[in-house]
Amino acid sequence: NLRILLRARPEGLVGPEHFEVSEGPLPSPRPGEALLRNRFLSLDPYMRGRMSAAKSYSAPVEIGAVMEGQCVSQVVEDPTGRFQAGDWVLGGFGWQRFSAVAVSGLRKLDPQTGPVTTALGVLGMPGTTAWVGTTELAAPRPGETFVVSAASGAVGSVAGQIAMRMGARVVGIAGGAEKCAFVRDELGFPDCVDHRAADFPERLRAACSSGIDAYFENVGGAVQKAVFPLLNDFGRVAFCGMVAEYNDDAPAPGPNLMQVVRKRLSLRGFIVSDHPRAFADWRSTGGEWVREGSLKYREDVVRGLEGAPEAFMGLLAGKNFGKLVIEVT
Ligand code: NDP
């Protein structure tokens, strides 16, 4: 069983030295578990937090343990009889070829209704995150300006499209001309600003001439610094993540908080797993939009489990273009 283990905890940048590619025994299912062949592994920014021992909302991966991650898998054998061999399921575990997982945590997928990888991206955890953060926290009203960072990515691309449906004027922020063109031309955002441009703050100000009413924060760092002065009175920020800071040893200095008082801002963080009912809601709503073709998504599929460490390092540096998925060969 080819597996990728956490070899050491990174301080600062993640490197290949923090991972170990290893061959292990085929896992044998305990009572209540099925043996799965993982086919697609989702790589997500939260995994950087699991590599660190720092206190967080979830426990870290132990040194020497298989890296955590969610997979779309095929059932090899299910002694409980709930699934047939060959069934596609969501819920396989880890950066590894095979996993033994409790059947109670598996959800059957129908490959006839669409690509199974959508269960890891647009219709899975990232899509649900976009749904919760946009509708419940950022809550844009018609005509308001809604800004989302990492706009071409798994969460941001969906958040912006939901905000457009809510009647907001949506401005994306993304890294580089190619991603910005995709956000405008394929996703249909009215505007997208390149945070790599030297005059990014001025460009963002020009794109948000009436200020920013709602901001969906995915990135932090210099992007956040440019957004905050543009927030309007009673503006809302949904703090979803700050991927630009995940490799930092110490937290970056934040914005001056007097503007929270002066502008009467609402700042709220959230973790999607605290909203368990939202997953099925979004699968039903978003699934309909995906099937009719009105919700666009892009996947960045890298072939081969051995490529996962490098692909993950790229995710923390903006090298992925769309939802990052490993095809486990
Ligand atoms: P993406 O598919 O958007 O990929 C990450 C993107 O972040 C990169 O492509 C890049 O986009 C941007 N990025 C990475 N490094 C930097 C940097 N140093 N400076 C600026 N931008 C950078 O990832 P996801 O959609 O999966 O995740 C987006 C955010 O949502 C993350 O912060 C993640 O932690 C968070 N999240 C939070 C959840 C929650 O429950 N709160 C659940 C799921 C995700 P670009 O090149 O355009 O800058």
Q: Do 80 and 131 share a domain, yes or no?
A: no
Q: Which amino acid is at 209?
A: S
**Residue 285, domain member (yes or no):** no
- The CATH number assigned to the domain holding 32 equals 3.90.180.10
Give the domain CATH number at 187: 3.40.50.720
* pLDDT confidence band for 253 (50 / 70 / 90): confident
- For ligand 1, whether the C-beta of 132 sits within 6 Å is no
Rounded Cα distance between 172 and 179, Å, is: 10
Q: CA-CA distance, 82 to 36, in Å (whole number)?
A: 13
User: Are residues 129 and 116 located together in one domain of the fold?
Assistant: no
**Contacts with 257 (C-beta within 8 Å, 6 or more apart), sequence order:** none
Question: Residue 270 carries which DSSP code?
Answer: -
Across the range 302-324, mean pLDDT stands at: 98
Distance between CA atoms of residues 286 and 290, nearest Å: 6
The token duo for 95 is 């950066």
Testing ligand 1's pocket by substitution, the residue of 47, 200, 219 carrying the most ligand atoms inside 8 A of its CB is 219
Closest ligand 1 atom number to CA of residue 45: 34
98 and 234 both lie in a single domain = no
% of the chain exceeding 70 in pLDDT: 100
| Those residues with Cβ within 8 angstroms of residue 22's Cβ, 6 or more apart along the chain or in another chain | 2, 3, 4, 5
| Residue 117 shares a structural domain with residue 189 | no
Confirm whether pTM is higher than 0.90.
yes
Q: Is the pLDDT of residue 23 over 90?
A: yes
55 and 151: one domain? Answer: no
Cα(35)–Cα(7) distance, rounded to whole angstroms?
A: 25
Is 297 touching ligand 1 by the criterion CB < 6 Å?
Answer: no
Decide if 279 is inside a domain: no
Would you say residue 323 lies in a domain? yes
What pLDDT does residue 223 have?
Answer: 97
Say whether both 90 and 153 belong to one domain: no
111 and 19 in a single domain? The answer is: yes
pLDDT over 90 at 56, yes or no:
no
On whether residue 149 sits in a domain, the answer given is yes
Query: How many other C-beta atoms are found inside a 10 Å radius of the C-beta of residue 254?
Result: 10
Tell me, yes or no, whether 111 and 224 share the same domain: no
Closest by Cα among 214, 211, 203, 205 to 142: 214
Domain housing 264: 125-273
Domain count, the chain: 2
Domain shared by 252 and 129, yes or no: yes
CA atoms of 38 and 90, how far apart (whole Å): 9
Clarify whether residues 152 and 240 are in a common domain. Answer: yes
Cβ(14) – ligand 1 distance below 6 Å? no
What's the average model confidence in pLDDT over 276-294?
Answer: 97
Q: Is 309 in the pocket of ligand 1 (CB under 6 A)?
A: no
Within a domain: 281: no
Tell me, what's the pLDDT at 282? 98
Q: Is residue 212 part of a domain?
A: yes
Average the pLDDT over 145-153 and give the result: 98
Q: What number of other Cβ atoms are within 10 A of residue 275's Cβ? A: 17
Looking at the domain assignment, is residue 230 inside a domain? yes
